Structure 1
Amino acid sequence: DQKGKVKHNGFAAKEAYGNAFGIYALAAYYKASGDTVALHLAKQAFAWLEKHSHDPVYKGYFQHMQRDGTPVKRNADITSTSDLGYKDQNSAIHLLEAFTELYLVWPDPLLRERLNEMLLLIRDTITSPKGSLTLFFQPDWTPVSFSDSAKVTILKHRYLDHVSFGHDVETAWLMLEASHILGLENDSITLLKAKLMVDHALRNGWDSAVGGFYDEGYYFKGDDKITIIKDSKNWWAQAEGMNTLLFMADLFPNDPLHYFEKFRQLWNYTQTYLIDHEFGDWYEGGLDKQPELKKSLKGHIWKATYHHFRSLSNCISALRKE
């Protein structure tokens, strides 16, 4: 709280996700400032995760932990719609991102091993053969899926089981960045998987009329095509989409999906429906689908400038290079 007293937070007092962003920020700050106190704290956080969160049997990291680092296990008190006790793609991709940033300033052998481990897990286990991320898993990496259930049950558990196009395009870039920082030359497997993820998102979750990636889709049993179950377009998915599309346009300039034209369409969408040209910053979602967000909060615990600053900075650098 504001007096420095640790507040109780239900089942999980600590999460791998939050620690990942802590490591990411500390490493980036050290790279910019040379402040060794920040690097030391990042190393401490990595060591804490290694001791408490890393799974030596099935690999990857437990997301939810007690304050002493004991991983939270699912039990009868945890509802079926809760993610407590599951491993998940979101903490995994942000651990990958954090370890990539930390490895740039601290090329530690164990850190390299964990960074490579996360890259392979995300690429070969968490990403489905179709090219979309599975969101949640049992500790042994058995997917959490409700696809065999009735539609009402599927939609009740949609938080745990859907296609998140924004995460797919973001992860494609994060994997390629990690592969590059690891120095994996001619890593065609990661490149092809990243392209599969972007292409899947464009073919199934892209608004061809005005641009933008939809928030959620689902492969209902017996359907040949994915169904859009949430057609809003959150700000971070569009930001990450621009960054990834421009990157793919550089790698595959003549691809039939026309990545550069999609990037231009997404930038036009962003200027039209996401950027607040009167007061600044971005709305939380596209006003074409959620006009009420024009009066919603610009910033809160899940809404910060992290995604769109990185995207715009990377895009400017790439376009200037071109």
Structure 2
Amino acid sequence: MNQETIKIFRQELLDNLTQNILPYWLEKMTDPRGGFYGRRDGDDRLDADAPKGAILNARILWSFSAAYLATGNPDYLAAATRARDYIVSHFIDSDFGGAYWSLNADGTPLDTKKQFYAIAFIIYGLSEYYRACSDEESLRIAVGLFDAIEKHSRDRLKNGYIEATARDWQPIADMRLSDHDANASKTMNTHLHILEGYTNLLRALKEKCPASFESRVPDVEEATANLLEIFLDRIENPATRHLTLFFDDDWNEQPGAESYGHDIEASWLLLETAHVIGDQALTAKTLDHTFHIASAGLQGRCVDGSMVYERHPAGNYDNDKHWWVQAENVIGQLWLAQFHGMPEQLERARQSWRYIADNLVDPAGEWHWSRRAADGSVNRSDDKAGFWKCPYHNSRMCIEAVRTLDSFID
């Protein structure tokens, strides 16, 4: 790919971030009661009374913090501060620690269970906010949430992290993250996003660590490295190189799909973790594993650059083109180009971006949930913005892709 094409690709991504994705959240999702609304449906109609999820709010916090770091736009820092303040005031459980799963629209607790996936995303958002504006209180809360996960989720006997507990950290029967998931005590998805939160917390501590937090760096680094090793040694299937999705307490596999989006997402997140840790042997090991994980994920890539959702255990496919899978597909291919010596992946990533731009980006703002495989139509049954539809995969794709493409510009 020539320099001019790279520059055009880069500008298109930056424009999508600053002119399409983020303005939508600022203009259509800011709740005058505080924080952000919980939902707009697939037809872009506001549901002002929808519950507010911890995941949505934490991802908003990360997205605007990262966008401020990338662009310096003060409006983004103001939005991040709004998200940060709402999370701290309403989601953090001042009695038992941790964070609630969801709130009512008025900010009162709704579902008070402790889902460690969600708590990890708050760590992810708070640590990015600290990176953006050096707010030590946010760093303190993030470290406290790290301690809560280490105390109440980490399995010190068999390794790994359990999914969820009740509000008071007692066992809970239904640990599922969503109706789509198996009720397994240990899952790839929760491990991946705890790793993501820990990696960003470790990066924040290494970049600018106040003296009062210096003693915590080894704790965070040990937990982060341990999680990375779990992925390479347990969660990656050595035969197929796909990630196994569900396990019991003893790490026995449970039936699950091959998730192409998670494979390609993990292929770059795991390598990012190794880079932040900075151990050469671990980075070399991770580089080898992530090449194979990315290759497994790309089994779901289509000739038009899009990526199908997953392959079920029975062998049938879900061929819908989900927004987040397409976003991770672009980043994964760019990381293959940058770190695995595969420059041809630049053009393949650009082709994947063109699929997104032509099929998922809504000119009115944000992206649609998916395109249906059956007839290619826009899926309006799922949210435009909501509990799971957040400015995270797509804004991160734009930010990370711009950073990666910069390394190829002379």
Of 165, 168, 193, 2:260 maps to: 165
For 2:295, give the aligned amino acid.
Answer: D
TM-score normalised according to structure 2 size: 0.66
For 1:116, give the aligned amino acid.
Answer: A
For 1:172, give the aligned amino acid.
Answer: S
TM-score normalised according to structure 1 size: 0.83
Task: Give runs of aligned pairs for residues 202-241 of structure 1, distance below 5 A.
Answer: 202=298, 204-208=299-303, 210-218=304-312, 220=314, 227-241=315-329
Q: CA deviation at 1:47?
A: 1.1
- Identity over aligned pairs, percent: 30
Q: CA deviation at 1:118?
A: 0.6
Q: CA deviation at 1:164?
A: 0.5
Unaligned runs of 5+ in 1: 146-160, 221-226
Give CA deviations for 1:230-287 in whole Å, capped at 9, x if unaligned: 00011111111111101111233447xx42232121011111111112x021111136
Task: Rate the CA distance shift 1:317–1:3 in 2: closer, same or farther, 3 A.
Answer: closer
For 1:50, give the aligned amino acid.
Answer: E
User: Partner residue of 1:131?
Assistant: 241
Task: Give runs of aligned pairs for residues 115-130 of structure 1, distance below 5 A.
Answer: 115-129=224-238, 130=240
Structure 1 range deviating more: 166-175 or 260-269? 260-269
- Find the residue that maps to 2:311 and give its secondary structure: strand
Q: Judge conservation of contact 1:15–1:63 (CA < 8 Å) in 2.
A: yes
Structure 1 range deviating more: 81-90 or 267-276? 81-90
Q: CA deviation at 1:189?
A: 1.9
What RMSD in Å do the two structures reach over aligned CA positions? 2.3
Unaligned runs of 5+ in 2: 1-103, 207-216
- Find the residue that maps to 1:177 and give its secondary structure: helix
Structure with the bigger RCO (C-alpha within 8 Å, sep 6+) is: 2
Q: Judge conservation of contact 1:205–1:228 (CA < 8 Å) in 2.
A: no
How far apart in 2 are the matches of 1:252 and 1:170? 15
Task: Give runs of aligned pairs for residues 1-322 of structure 1, distance below 5 A.
Answer: 1-2=104-105, 4-8=107-111, 13-72=113-172, 83-106=182-205, 108-129=217-238, 130-145=240-255, 161-186=256-281, 187-202=283-298, 204-208=299-303, 210-218=304-312, 220=314, 227-254=315-342, 258-277=344-363, 279-286=364-371, 290-293=376-379, 297-322=383-408
Task: Rate the CA distance shift 1:45–1:290 in 2: closer, same or farther, 3 A.
Answer: farther
Q: Judge conservation of contact 1:20–1:98 (CA < 8 Å) in 2.
A: yes
Q: Identify, as 1 or 2, the structure richer in helix.
A: 2
Q: CA deviation at 1:218?
A: 3.6
How far apart in 2 are the matches of 1:68 and 1:294? 38
The runs of at least 4 aligned residues of structure 1 exceeding 6 Å deviation read none
Q: CA deviation at 1:59?
A: 1.3
Q: CA deviation at 1:294?
A: 5.4
How far apart in 2 are the matches of 1:91 and 1:103? 18
Q: Judge conservation of contact 1:164–1:215 (CA < 8 Å) in 2.
A: yes
How far apart in 2 are the matches of 1:219 and 1:116? 31
Q: CA deviation at 1:319?
A: 1.4
